[in-house]
Amino acid sequence: MKASRRGQGQSEDTMSCGSKRLKTFYEAGISFHVAAMTGSRIMQEGESREIINRLSEIDEGIAKKLEEEIIDPYNATLFKLKQAE
């Protein structure tokens, strides 16, 4: 895994590893659902598009069913995000 991180998002190697696992599940016929926190507070511009592109490489249907979750700005959530920096 690369040491550098892009914003609060995943490193390139981590995203690649996740994509490979999803592709393995897909090819094995295993049922799965993909969700990602894509809010601008935790993800740099373009990162959600990168996730969708990677999912599309596996299957367009998976990309269309991506569940994008947004973090609500609750005080406890903001505190945890600050601690993660």
Give the mean model confidence (pLDDT) for residues 24-40.
Answer: 91
**Higher per-residue confidence, 9 vs 53:** 53
Which pTM does this prediction carry?
0.66
User: Sign of torsion, CA 46 39 36 4?
Assistant: positive
Tokens read off for 45: 């511009």
Give the mean model confidence (pLDDT) for residues 39-63.
Answer: 89
CA pair distance 79, 83, nearest whole angstrom = 6
Helices 12-28, 47-58: crossing angle, 10 deg rounding: 30
Which of the four pLDDT bands, split at 50, 70 and 90, describes residue 1? very low
* Residue 21: alpha-carbon gap to chain centroid: 13
| pLDDT over 50 (residue 77) | yes
For 35, phi then psi, to 5°, come to -130, 145
CA pair distance 7, 26, nearest whole angstrom = 29
**Higher per-residue confidence, 78 vs 61:** 61
Which of the four pLDDT bands, split at 50, 70 and 90, describes residue 59? very high
